[in-house]
């Protein structure tokens, strides 16, 4: 049961990132790049391509549980930067827009916390990381026998 729950949890946790990469960052590349420029992001084209890479590499890593700690770290970097640059509700005068950005800020903060949990504890069972660790232990046991 633990393996299944770990896998489903990783898939659900990571699902937002490849969808975001495809829907907003790839399919709406020009508008998203312009929005990045409007928010003062330097070298927006380069940063945008790097963002797509972070989202795809991090989410695939997390879903497969392959170097999941590194994947979670990539996604945590994305979340920290995105939350700061795009969801600064404290600077918005319009109350309804401020509440909307505050909700996005808190959502990202929660997902960031989950990434820290993955960084600290790994991908869990039913992951490539766990499979590799089990093989390493078996090889070490065979050598010492």
Residue 138 clears pLDDT 90, i.e. is over it: no
139-4-104 Cα angle (round to 5): 115
* Cα(145)–Cα(141) distance, integer angstroms: 6
* Cα(2)–Cα(65) distance, integer angstroms: 14
Contact 66, 14 (CB under 8 A): no
Give the pLDDT band (50/70/90) at residue 120.
very high
Name, in order, each residue with C-beta under 8 angstroms of 114's C-beta and a sequence gap of 6 or more: 13
Cα-Cα-Cα-Cα torsion 128, 132, 133, 138, nearest 10 degrees, comes to 140
Give the DSSP H/E element, type plus range, for residue 21.
Answer: none
The pTM score is 0.91
C-alpha separations of 133 from 1, 25, 87, 110 in Å:
19, 35, 39, 29
Give the DSSP H/E element, type plus range, for residue 47.
Answer: helix 44-64
Percent of the chain with pLDDT over 70: 100
pLDDT, tens digit, 9 for 90 and up, residues 46-57? 999 999 999 999
* Cα(18)–Cα(32) distance, integer angstroms: 15
| DSSP code at position 65 | T
Confidence (pLDDT) at 144: 83
Q: Which two tokens stand for residue 112?
A: 């960031």
């Amino acid at each position: 049961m633990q393996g299944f729950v770990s896998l489903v949890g990783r898939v659900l946790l990571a699902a937002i990132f490849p969808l975001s990469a495809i829907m907003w960052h790839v399919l709406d590349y020009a508008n998203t790049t312009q929005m990045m420029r409007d928010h003062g992001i330097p070298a927006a084209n380069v940063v945008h391509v790097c963002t797509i890479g972070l989202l795809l590499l991090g989410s695939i890593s997390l879903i497969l549980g392959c170097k999941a700690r590194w994947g979670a770290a990539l996604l945590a970097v994305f979340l920290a930067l995105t939350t700061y640059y795009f969801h600064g509700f404290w600077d918005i005068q319009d109350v309804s827009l401020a509440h909307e950005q505050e909700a996005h800020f808190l959502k990202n903060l929660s997902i960031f916390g989950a990434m820290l949990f993955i960084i600290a504890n790994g991908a869990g069972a039913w992951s490539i990381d766990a499979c590799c660790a089990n093989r390493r232990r078996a090889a070490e046991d065979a050598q010492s026998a």
